[in-house]
Amino acid sequence: MDNETRPKRGVVVSLLDEGNQRSSLIIDDVRSQGPATPTTWMLDAFFTQRIFDNGDLDSMTLTDEVYRDIGIAVVARLLALDGRTK
C-alpha cells in the first residue's frame, strides 16, 4: 500500500529514440518539491546514459548482464543519493 510519502531525492530513467535505430537509456537524479504525493520532481543532475539498438530494446532481448547492470546502476545511485554508500 502506498503511504504517499516520498524522499527528497530520486532517480528518473527515460528512453530517448535517437532516430537512427538506436535509443539512449538515460538516468537522471531528481529532487522532489515536497515529501508527499503528488509532488513535482525537478532535474538535479545527469547521472549516466547508455546507447542500445532499438530492435534489442523493442524485443526485450538485452542480455541478462545488461539488465543486471541497469538495475545495479539504479539501486547504487539511489543508495548514493540517500547517503547510504560504503
pLDDT per residue as tens digits for the range 23-64: 999 999 999 987 777 788 999 999 999 999 999 999 999 999
**21-28 CB contacts, 8 Å cutoff, 24+ apart:** 21/53, 21/54, 21/55, 22/51, 22/52, 22/53, 22/54, 23/51, 23/52, 23/54, 23/57, 24/49, 24/50, 24/51, 24/52, 25/49, 25/50, 25/51, 25/52, 25/70, 27/73, 27/74, 27/77
What pLDDT was estimated at residue 85?
A: 82
pTM for this model (two decimals): 0.86
* pLDDT above 70 as % of the chain: 99
